[in-house]
Amino acid sequence: MATVQVSEAEKVYILHGIRDDLRVDGRGCEDYRHMEIETDVVSNTDGSAKVTLGHTAVLVGIKAEIGKPRPMVPNEGYLEFFVDCSANATPEFEGRGGEELGTELSNTLYKVFNNKHSVDLKSLCISAGEHCWVLYVDVLLLQCDGNLYDAISVAVKAALFSTKIPRVHISADDEGGKEIELSDDPYDCMRLNVENVPCIVTLCKVGHRHVVDATLQEKACSVASLIISVTHKGTVTCTRKVGGGSLDPESIFEMTEAGKRVGKALHAPLMKLLQQEESLGQKRQKVGFLG
């Protein structure tokens, strides 16, 4: 993971600031940095989104392919995650440097998103036990400036929102053989319901307090963070602790409460934004990567 060197004096400065609810860049403890979202940025995917959070930039692309349902859940589709830590993001990722982080991220994403409470996996089923849609979610880290989890989760949600899966029909002939038929209209697509898709809020324990959306410097002052996935109703669907330090039960409770609050507040404007973008339709001027 990208790290910065922070001197003792700087640490004290940051710690004291946070204690007084005043962060180096002027934010409060539960404030996010400036966030930019654009969907439908990669034309050869079925859904995509690019999110920048501060200087952190991630790109998520979703490809839908037809696969076989898992034997235990024959009437559900599933999601697969792959996180590519490109060396563009930070030189540390060069070679196989980003592999470990990538695996860790994709495992977490899998846990958070691949369950029927988050995504309506049943709608991904084409014919029970035989065909289902598999959504391959590919995450590309473009730049690392702290708080990867939150940025990625927002991007995944946005990408899922924009995903258009071609509608297919199963035609059964007299003998029971099944044939998948594609609609000939490219606009004839299935959309996913993303209402229950959670977002991840990472809370960083700095001193006795905790902050959301920690920068790299703040991260360097922290010993442990708590990753909480929260739905729009404020339900916590998953928590995970990362970092070497320990957290006492009381602060875990405090942090969870704060996470719920922040998460709920994050969902509403996000959905509003996505719908607004959608309503612009085809003629929207795309910003892309150079804008």
Partner 1 sequence: MLKSKTFVKKTRSGGVMKIVREHYLRDDIWCGSEVCAECKQESAVLQRDACIESNLCTYPHYLIPDTNVVLHQIDVLEDPVIRNVIILQTVLQEVRHRSAPVYKRLKDIIHEKEKHFYTFTNEHHRDTFIEREPGESANDRNDRAIRVATKWYSQHLKTSESDAEGLKVVLLTNDQGNTQKAEESSLLVYKCEEYIKSLIANPELVDRLALSSDDKNEITSSKVLFPEHLPLSRIQAGIKSGSFLQGSFRASRDNYLEATVFVQGEGEDSTEVLIQGLQNLNRAVHQDVVAVQLLPRNQWVAPSAVVLQDEGTAKDDDAEEEEEEKALRISAAEAASKPTGKIVGIIKRSWRPYCGMLNASQIKESTRHLFTPADRRIPRIRIETRQSSTLAGQRIMVAIDGWPKHSRYPNGHFVRSLGSAGEKDTEQEVLLLEHDVPHQDFSQAVLSFLPKMPWAITPEDMVKREDLRHLTVCSVDPPGCTDIDDALHCRELDNGNLEVGVHIADVSHFIRPGNAMDKEAANRGTTVYLCGKRIDMVPELLSSNLCSLRSNVERMAFSCIWEMNDKAEILKTRFTKSVINSKASLTYAEAQMRIDDTTMNDDITQSLRGLNKLAKILKRQRIEKGALTLSSLEVRFHIDSETHDPIDLQTKELMETNSMVEEFMLLANISVAQKIYDEFPDCAMLRKHPAPPPSNYDILLKAAKSKNVEIHTDSAKALADSLDGAKVDGFPYFNTLLRILATRCMMQAVYFCSGMDSDFHHYGLASPIYTHFTSPIRRYADIIVHRLLAVAIAADSTYPDLMDKHKQSALANNLNYRHKMSQYAQRASVAFHTQLFFKSRGILNEAGYVLFVRKNAIIVLIPKFGLEGTVFFDTKDKAAPNLVFDEEGPTLKVEQHNFCIFDKVKVTISLDASNIQHQKIRMALIDPVIPGVSVPAPDVEPQAKKPKLDR
- CA dihedral for 137, 142, 144, 150, sign (positive or negative): negative
Residue 218 Cβ vs partner 1, minimum distance, rounded to whole Å: 41
Q: How far is CA 104 from the centre of its chain?
A: 13
CA distance 174 to 31: 61
Burial of 267 (0-12, 13-18, 19+ CB in 10 A): buried
User: Are the beta carbons of 89 and 75 closer than 8 angstroms?
Assistant: no
227: number of CA atoms within 13 Å, CB side?
21
Element (H, E) at 277: helix 249-280
The one-character DSSP state at 281 is: G
Residue closer to partner 1, measured from CB, 46 or 145:
46
Least distance between partner 1 and beta carbon 75 (Å)? 19
Question: Which neighbouring-strand residues pair with 206?
Answer: 209
- The DSSP element (H or E) to which 104 belongs, if any, is helix 99-113
The minimum distance between CB 86 and partner 1, in angstroms, equals 22
Q: Which is nearer to partner 1, 73 or 126 (CB)?
A: 126
- Evaluate whether 200 touches 112 at the Cβ level (below 8 Å): yes
For residue 132, the minimal CB distance to partner 1 (Å) is: 12
Count of CB atoms within 10 A of residue 12's CB?
12
Question: Residue 62 or residue 252: which is nearer to partner 1 going by CB?
Answer: 62
Choice between 172 and 268, CB closer to partner 1 = 172
Give least dist CB 180 to partner 1, A.
6
- Provide, rounded to whole angstroms, the least separation between the CB of residue 182 and partner 1: 5
Please state, as a whole number, how many other Cβ atoms lie within 10 Å of the Cβ of residue 256.
17
**In the complex, minimum distance from the CB of residue 52 to partner 1, in angstroms, rounded to a whole number:** 24
| Cβ distance to partner 1 smaller for residue 187 or 280 | 187
Tell which phi-psi region holds residue 26, choosing left (phi > 0), alpha (psi between -120 and 50) or beta: left
Nearer to partner 1, 48 or 118 (CB): 48
- Least distance from partner 1 to the Cβ atom of residue 125, Å: 15
- CB closer to partner 1 out of 6 and 189: 189
Binding site for partner 1 (CB under 8 A): 43-46, 63-66, 166, 168, 171, 173-175, 177, 180, 182, 184-187, 282
Element (H, E) at 178: strand 178-182
Residues 64, 66, 68, 72, CA torsion sign: positive
DSSP reduced 3-state for 204: strand
C-beta of 5 vs 43, nearer to partner 1:
43
